[in-house]
Chains A and B, each alone.
Chain A
Amino acid sequence: MDVTWYLVLSAFIFAVGAAGVISRRNPLVVLLCLELMLNAGNLALVAFSRMHGSEAGQVFALIVMVIAACEVVVGLGIIVAMYRNRLPIDIDEMSELRG
Chain B
Amino acid sequence: MWFEQVLFFLAAFGALAGALGVILLQNPFYSVLSLVGHLLGLAVLFLLLAAEFLAAAQVVVYAGAVMVLYLFVVAYIGGTDEPLRPERGGVALFGPVFAIALAAELCIAFVASGLQALDTRGADVGAGFGSPGQIGELLLTDFLIPFEAASFLLLMAAVGAVVLARRRRGLEDEGTGPMRSRDDVPPTETLEVRL
Q: How many residues of B contact A (CB 8 A)?
A: 96
Q: Which of B79, B102, B135, B150 contacts A66 (CB 8 A)?
A: B150
Contact A33 B138 (CB under 8 A): no
Decide if the interface of chain B is mainly helix, strand, loop or mixed: helix
Is there contact, CB below 8 Å, between A2 and B16? no
What is the predominant secondary structure among interface residues of chain A facing chain B? Answer: helix
Q: Mark A1-32, 1 if CB is under 8 A from B, else 0.
A: 11111111101111111111011111011011
Are the C-beta atoms of A61 and B66 separated by less than 8 Å?
A: no
In this complex, how many residues of chain A approach chain B with their Cβ under 8 Å: the count is 71
Measuring CB to CB, which residues of chain B are less than 8 angstroms from any residue of chain A? 4-5, 8, 12, 15-16, 19-20, 22-23, 28, 31-32, 35, 38-39, 42, 45-46, 48-51, 53-54, 57-58, 61-62, 65-66, 69-70, 73-74, 76-77, 79-80, 82, 86, 88, 91-96, 98-100, 102-103, 106-107, 110-111, 115, 117-125, 129-130, 134-135, 138-139, 142-143, 146-147, 150, 153-154, 156-158, 160-165, 167-168, 178, 182, 193-195
